[in-house]
Structure 1
Amino acid sequence: MNHHFKSYLFDLDGTVYNGDTPIDSAVAFIRKLNQQAIPYGFITNNSTKTTEQVADKLRKFHILVEPKQIVTSALATALYVKKQAAVSSVYVIGETGLEKAFANFQKDDEQPDAVIVGLDRQITYEKLSKAARFIREGAQFIATNPDRMLPSADGLVCGNGALVAAIAYAAQKEPVTIGKPNEEIVSMALEQLQFPKDETILVGDNYETDIMTGIQAGLATLHVQTGITVDCTIYEKQPTFSIASLKDWVI
């Protein structure tokens, strides 16, 4: 069966690569899109990398890509916070991607208006405690993404959702979450890439984030069994399509 979508939005971790290992079927498929001049872009809940760093990684796998084709949860979160009139200062937990996205925001280590939490692989007890304390004292609680676990070269590792859950438990407050499965990141990507919503398909491996984002945003969804979620049949809302890998998908 042939599929005639005019544009493709891809998740990255578990869909295009696992850790530092490319998923060959995905790389070959994206090259095919490029050869046929079918536009594509990437959305990722990974807030640790800048769009330039993500593009560099994809280029190492011989995928043609520009930073403007990539929307990260860090960028989406910064855009959201810019729209919040009540937020003039922030306390940020995260790595390079989030730090760069919030480079022009006023930082406050004592009484911030908002606490921004992205994955931080150097997380400390002090950072967790500060974040929870600021939130209990009234700061807005904003998470880049809710991923429980992430695929890596060594197997599954804790995602940002695990850090967010610890802070939420201590602060007794749930966050506003910006990345997938929130549809805002998809809306931003469609606008930035100028993709028509009704002719774009979202490709992802994680049902709770990728597929649910597509469903909530009203996009066609293609589930690939190369990452977190292997079987989608247990869920009430089904992806439009589910395949073992992109080797099984005909343009």
Structure 2
Amino acid sequence: MKKDYNLFLIDLDGTIYRGDETIQTGVDFVHRLKEAHKDYLFLTNNTTRTPEMVVEKLKKHGVETDVNHIYTPSMATASYIINKKHTNDVEVYIIGEFGLKNELLNIAGFKLNEITPEYVVVGMDQDLTYKKVRTATRAIRNGSTFIGTNADLNLPLGHELIPGNGSQCAMIAAATGQQPLYIGKPESIIVDYALKKIHHSKDETIIVGDNYNTDIRAGFNSGVDQMLTLTGVTTRADIEGKRQPTITVDNLSEFKFN
């Protein structure tokens, strides 16, 4: 008998859309999920957008939702730091774009410090400069904790793979001799905080995504079931001889709710 899941942690790029292209089977899956009265959270590794911006992008692809159903590594990073410090009186240096800076500085209330921050947080930054890398490197060498929002080495952009945050972090790691603590998928940290946010247990949850190395491994690492949809980066050939997901589908129209 198929397991009856109550919470679906759903990836975005490669699952609901592919850049500007809508993946209709993914959109229909969300509609069917709502009709079945199942709970869901869009679990993305993207830190460049705020939850509000993610909601707007989803709307353009035919998915109506709200910020309560969005969870990002920016949000998980803020929660992780506050949990460690037991306060939001924290000084940080940030490499990243608006989504990450807004979450840490405006919502979490952290303070920006380029000289002696407690944490250096590195997220995707398409305007990365040598000066930013140098500032981060100096702080980490002087004792700041090095956090990477996610470890994606590459990101799909149309038919091109562009450098991702993991590549940025690798440069800083090489310069400092310090490896970052990663927060986003495939780490269990983001999954654990997502479950706390939405108040569900692991045994009633399944992670849905197109990327074996991030989405599916996040399930392995956190003890949550996984569903791989072959509408994005991972193919069946890619997972031959590897640990298999709980469920693999060509597209999400194949999954039927109990």
Matched, 1:162 2:167: yes
The equivalent of 1:92 in structure 2 is 94
* Aligned counterpart for 1:147 among listed residues 152, 155, 175: 152
1:83 counterpart SS class: helix
Residue 195 of structure 2 corresponds to residue 190 of structure 1: yes
1:249 is aligned to 255
CA contact (8 A) 2:79 2:193 kept: no
Aligned partners of 2:18, 2:119: CA distance in 1, in Å? 33
CA contact (8 A) 2:93 2:113 kept: yes
Whether the aligned pair in 2 keeps the contact of 1:78 and 1:102 (CA below 8 Å) is yes
After TM superposition, list the pairs within 5 Å mapping 1:13-24 onto structure 2: 13-24=13-24
Report the alpha carbon displacement of residue 4 of structure 1 after superposing the two structures with TM: 3.1
Instruction: Give the letter for the 2:52 counterpart.
Output: E
TM superposition shift of 1:154 = 4.1
Instruction: Give TM-score scaled by structure 2 length.
Output: 0.91
Structure 1 residue runs of 5 or longer lacking an equivalent are none
Is contact 1:151-1:227 (8 Å) kept?
no
Question: Could you say which residue in structure 2 is the equivalent of 1:46?
Answer: 46
Corresponding residue of 2:77: 77
User: Percent same amino acid among aligned pairs?
Assistant: 39
Query: How many residue pairs align between the two structures?
Result: 251
Select which of 223, 226, 229 maps to 2:234: 229
Q: Which moved more, 1:109-118 or 1:77-86?
A: 77-86
> For the residues of structure 2 that align with 1:156 and 1:21, how far apart are their CA atoms?
16
For the 8 Å contact 2:8–2:39, the answer to whether it is kept is yes
RMSD of Structure 2 on Structure 1 (CA): 1.8
Q: Against the structure 1 CA distance between its residues 49 and 211, is the aligned structure 2 distance closer, same or farther, given a 3 Å change threshold?
A: same
Query: Does the 8 Å contact 1:150/1:228 carry over to 2?
Result: no
Residue 119 of structure 1, aligned match among 124, 138, 142: 124
What is the aligned partner in structure 2 of residue 138 from structure 1?
143
TM-score normalized by the length of structure 1: 0.93
Aligned AA (2:31) = R
The answer on whether the counterparts of 1:201 and 1:219 sit within 8 Å (CA) in structure 2 is yes
How much has 1:117 moved relative to structure 2? 0.1
Tell me which amino acid in the other structure corresponds to 1:89.
Answer: E
Aligned partners of 2:79, 2:218: CA distance in 1, in Å? 18
Q: What secondary structure is seen at the aligned counterpart in 2 of 1:151?
A: strand
1:51 alignment partner AA: P
From the superposition, tell whether residues 75 and 36 of structure 1 become closer, same or farther in structure 2 (CA, over 3 Å).
Answer: same
SS class of match (1:30): helix
Displacement after TM superposition at 1:61 (Å): 1.5
- What SS does the aligned partner of 2:34 have? helix
Residue 3 of structure 1, CA deviation: 5.8
Deviates more, 1:114-123 or 1:233-242: 233-242
CA offsets 1:121-145 (integer angstroms, 9 cap, x no match): 1111111121112111221101100
Q: Aligned with 2:49: secondary structure?
A: coil
- Indicate conservation of the 8 Å contact 1:21/1:153, yes or no: no
Q: Verify the 8 A CA contact 2:229 2:252 in the aligned structure 1.
A: yes
